[in-house]
Structure 1
Amino acid sequence: MKELRWFLDLAETQNMVDSSVKLGVSQSALSRRLAALESEVGAPLFDRHGRHLSINECGKALAKSATEATGVWQRGVEEVHRLMDPERGTVRLDFMHSLGTWLVPDLVRSYREDHPHVTFQLVQGAAQTLIDHVLAGEADVALVGPKPTAFVESGELGWKQLATQRLALAVPAQHMWADRESINLSEAADEDFVAMLPGYGTRMLLDELTARAGFRPHLVFESMELTTLAGLVSAGLGVALLPLGDPNIVTPGMHLIPLREKRERELGMVWKAKTSAALAAEAFRDFVSERAEV
């Protein structure tokens, strides 16, 4: 960028003496720089009038582009400085929709109490989409569930478990099983199911558990929100696999029957393994990991 700065200064002063004094170089050195630049672009950039210079149309065109390039470069330098400052960086945090009402607000609020100048770029989506974002370097961390075992075991992703939730079969309050205290998922093979769309964490668990139970669920509705599933169940439109312990999906007219299967919904944080991240993102990741161990 030094090559651009001296040229922009000369374009502004249009005076070889003034620019050489300001830049701290000799007039002869500045003249050689200008001659070399004009040779490179293939056109004179100033009209000469004795010792005086007058920037011409070619010089104005180059100065305009040089100003834009310098601005882009400076913004890039500032962005690097920001990324290297753990107290003023940006954390690109992705998370599942179901975590947006409790876990994410709590983590962000708690972190910003001690790091008020850190900003967060928040993205919600399906668990698989969020995992793909992390793998592609489009997110620093993601809060997902269940654990993406294949990626963790291959070493592509790091994983920190934050919580587990037991799973239940949600049925309408008037369902014949509404007073059951537990159930095997295989018993629901002939039921109509409402489920999350493919790629969402709870849908992954439903597909896994029904495959183990030896049946494919008959899906009548699909959604992107667990709260919508709860509403559909309470309306008598089907049964659903839902996590226990989430107050946001407790809906009148619905009963949750704990599954006898031992499978739980893991909730955790993933990040791209063996890859350096912005210092602010690394600090936030450490903060979340330490909280999980308390």
Structure 2
Amino acid sequence: MKSRLRMLARYQGKFCVGLAVITLSLTLAIQPVLAEVSDTYWGTLQNTYYPGKKIASGAFIQLTAPSRADSGAQVPFAFSIDYPMTAEKYIKSVSVFVDANPVPLAAIFHFNPSSGKAEISTRIRLESDSLVRVVAEANDGQLYMRTIPVRAEGGCGGAVGGDEAVAKAAAGKMKLALEKPLKIGSFSHVKLLIKHPMFTGLQRDLVTQGFRPAFFINSVEAKYNGKTVMQAATFIGISEDPNIQFGFIPDKPGTLELIIKDNEGGTFNTSIPVKEG
């Protein structure tokens, strides 16, 4: 009996050692997948877009995005900046960069005191795991930055189906809605949906296998009673059928108008009456 127990103990010891080796091997194999998204590209990007300028940390910039997105083609992303929006002091622009994308600059959003707050919610593209960052510029020229890591892939390239001519013909249709209840003189949220394929120029046609030419919205402007309250320059880093939520302060009842333009010269607009209630 004692000899059998000694044999069992030796077997268990060897089994545990073997299991430990397997576990360690699996851990080492998984480590690269779990590694942090590296800050590889920003040095070059900063020299390109902000040469010689100092950029401060923006702790007052709140970023929202999934740590891992289900699809690189539709990644929810939002920023909200806790900063005064007065005539004397306000955030005048916010640039959104996806560092590892073929075209890193996804959009530049312009604000003014009538915007009420520098705040945007939208969907972006990621070609591979990347830091997503915003650089906010105040009206005094000071720059502030905040970053968030996101894991996703395949959002800019890949294959695309459907008839290209049909997709272009349907482009520009919009849905515009105001958050209720709305109060004159208070910050109000707006939801804008735009039908547009946002072809990146890096996608292959499933039938021809050739690259579809870039076709994307490059300008979004919101005007209230004729005055611009938000304007955006957008690029291929914004997802297909853009969904953009923003805000403004209606100082009196009136009309909110959206003017959309794309890189092929198309111009589209829609409007909605604004009143309290």
Shorter-chain TM-score: which interval? under 0.3
| Higher normalized helix content (fraction of residues) | 1
TM-score, normalised to structure 2's length? 0.26
| Higher normalized strand content (fraction of residues) | 2
Structure showing greater radius of gyration is 1
